[in-house]
Structure 1
Amino acid sequence: MIVITAPTGNIGRRLLPLLLESAPARGEDLRVVVRDPARLPDSVRDRVEVVVGSHGDAEVVDRAFEGADAVFWLVPPDSAKTPADAYSTFTRPAAKALAAHGVGHVVGVSALGRGTPLARSAGLVTASLAMDDVIADTGVAYRALANPSFYENLLEEAGSIREKGVFVDVVEADRKAPFVSVADIAAVAAGLLLDRSWSGNGSVPVLGPQDLSPDDVARIMSEQLGRSVRYERRPFAELRATLVGYGLNEEFVDGIVEMKQAKDRGLDAGVARTPDTATPTTFEQWCAEVLKPAVLG
């Protein structure tokens, strides 16, 4: 039995079809934990066991992890909470349930930076790495998917790209860093969940095929969209004021800003890309298949 949390999110909805392709043939059942089962596609809903509720709830994870051999763990960031509450506090009921039910393997979505000085004060990244420790301390075999920023974050800029030919962020325009598609993260997760020959605790970097700077991103967007796109750097103080203005928890906002500051200092650039850490989806491919329809309709 494999349990998938957040099955309707960016990664989970790409992970589920991959598992449905292979798990039944291996004699493995799938169980999902979801607040609203109506958000599951009909083709999926009839092929998985559904546990309704939040995977931050002790009673829900106790039911969900009973009889489970492996769990895909993803914490949906909650901007109404502090970073510690959003990650570690949310995860503690699940950690107790993992131990109580003797779950063998967990694959979690986390971040790059473990073991680096920058990760000690990197906001949401620091909180995510602390969440990893909560899971690892249960004694379960654990693999944390150590991710950089996602291509999909740029979908939040689709309107600005369409109307102004501009996307914004807070890092230096020439700061190169790994960049990855959520589909590739899902593929790595599926491989680990299906082949559980691994043991102990560790991180699995998921680095995409190449490092890109915001200027590189603007150039590739321009080529793929057939229109000029430029990068505009905004001050950290402006980012903070904007997010606070949206009504987000101020400690969570500080966590976002600290994460961005750490990335601007090279947080994501400390892991070498190898055949084992690289993933296949290029930014050019993602722009053509995902960003272009979102921007040009």
Structure 2
Amino acid sequence: MQIAVTTPTGNVGRHVVTTLVRAGVRPRVLLRDPGRLAPGIRAEVDAVRVDQYDADAVAVATRGVDALFWVDPTTGGQDPLADYARATSSVVRAVTENGIGRVVFQSGVGAEKRHGAGEIDGLAHTETALDAVAAGAGVDIAHLRCGYFFTNLELQLDALRAGTLQVVLPLDQPMAWVAPRDIAEVAATLLLSPAWSGRRVQAVHGPADLTWGQVADILTTATGRPIDVERTTDGAMRTRLREAGMTDGLVEAVLGMSTGLREGFVPEQPRTVRTTTPTPLAAWAHAHLRHRLTDAPR
């Protein structure tokens, strides 16, 4: 069974790769720079240099593939949704042209809205495009509706060191938080398991729904540094994102991921044993975040 993995050095993809290798699979990994692969993994994979926005290159890179783990690449452009559409065209062409029989797509909670959730709308577009392919060609497709990544906190190290996170969501609004490694385990299981077929939506909600207030308490205990969280206005957040160097289009796409899920949103899939994964935020923060804050100058 030939399995291809995109974004194999990413927060989720690198764990998908190592899980497959441990299962005895030699995956084909698609990435712009094979030199970014960890030295220990290079001999265990077949690396192909490819830009996921290049539909011709993706089609060539996935010839002979039986199953594909697809992640839409991150975008920093002025029109993020247009970039998502380009990536979607690449995966649709690859699946159609090469007869790939199984696709596991890393989507996100909120994609079920289809419209009005900022950058998540790009994931929704990929979902619907893959669904259309699956319906016409009998492809098995699984959409992983993932919660908020623990690793998103690593993008706010300066704020964590200063002791205050700012968010636009209500501080008492719970949402799913998940470890990328848990997502990878679900993805690898679906790639390898013969027990399912057709279209499948698999939420990956992590171990618990957490409010931002609870997150601040967990981080304070896990890192040994006092961390607070405060709600800010949409306008103030826009200013902060622009000051961070984001284009206006990206600012709106990023902000929309919060504002679009703010008013009465309930995930399509409830929390059950199937959607709950084990890694707690406290354990992840202690292992991956604590030293990065402690080692930094105060």
Q: Is the pair's TM-score, using the shorter chain for normalization, greater than 0.5?
A: yes
Alignment of 1:280-295 (within 5 A): 280-295=278-293
Q: Deviations over 1:20-61 (max 9, x none)?
A: 00033xxxx310111111100122111111110212212221
Residues 177 and 268, structure 1, Cα contact 8 Å, conserved in 2: no
Residue 191 of structure 2: aligned partner: 193
Q: What percentage of aligned pairs have identical amino acids?
A: 31
Aligned counterparts of 2:256 and 2:167: Cα–Cα separation in 1: 14
Alpha-carbon spacing, 1:196–1:236, altered in 2? closer, same or farther (3 Å): farther
1:95 aligns with 2:96: no
Residues 50 and 61, structure 2, Cα contact 8 Å, conserved in 1: no
SS of 1:204 mapped into structure 2: strand
1:129 aligns with 2:124: yes
Alignment of 1:1-297 (within 5 A): 1-24=2-25, 29-116=26-113, 119-139=114-134, 140-162=139-161, 164-267=162-265, 269=267, 271-297=269-295
Q: Deviations over 1:39-92 (max 9, x none)?
A: 001221111111102122122212221110000000122121423212122220
After TM superposition, give the deviation of residue 115 of structure 1 in Å.
Answer: 4.4
Read off the aligned partner of 1:75 and give its amino acid letter.
D
Q: Deviations over 1:114-153 (max 9, x none)?
A: 544xx53111122211111112222221111101211111
TM-score, normalised via structure 2 length: 0.92
Residues 155 and 294, structure 1, Cα contact 8 Å, conserved in 2: no
Residues 51 and 63, structure 1, Cα contact 8 Å, conserved in 2: no
SS of 1:66 mapped into structure 2: coil
Aligned counterparts of 2:66 and 2:189: Cα–Cα separation in 1: 15
Structure 1 unpaired stretches of 5+: none
TM-score, normalised via structure 1 length: 0.92
Read off the aligned partner of 1:3 and give its amino acid letter.
A
Residues 23 and 194, structure 1, Cα contact 8 Å, conserved in 2: no
Residues 147 and 176, structure 2, Cα contact 8 Å, conserved in 1: yes
RMSD value, Cα: 1.7
Read off the aligned partner of 2:74 and give its amino acid letter.
P
Read off the aligned partner of 1:136 and give its amino acid letter.
D
Give the number of equivalent residue pairs: 290
Read off the aligned partner of 1:70 and give its amino acid letter.
A
Residues 112 and 268, structure 2, Cα contact 8 Å, conserved in 1: no
After TM superposition, give the deviation of residue 242 of structure 1 in Å.
Answer: 2.6
Q: Deviations over 1:164-217 (max 9, x none)?
A: 211222111111111111111111111111114322223110001111111101
Residues 111 and 120, structure 2, Cα contact 8 Å, conserved in 1: no
After TM superposition, give the deviation of residue 94 of structure 1 in Å.
Answer: 2.2
**Bigger Cα displacement from structure 2, 140-149 vs 241-250:** 241-250
SS of 2:289 mapped into structure 1: helix
Read off the aligned partner of 1:23 and give its amino acid letter.
G
After TM superposition, give the deviation of residue 262 of structure 1 in Å.
Answer: 2.0
Aligned counterparts of 1:251 and 1:30: Cα–Cα separation in 2: 35
Structure 2 unpaired stretches of 5+: none
SS of 1:190 mapped into structure 2: helix
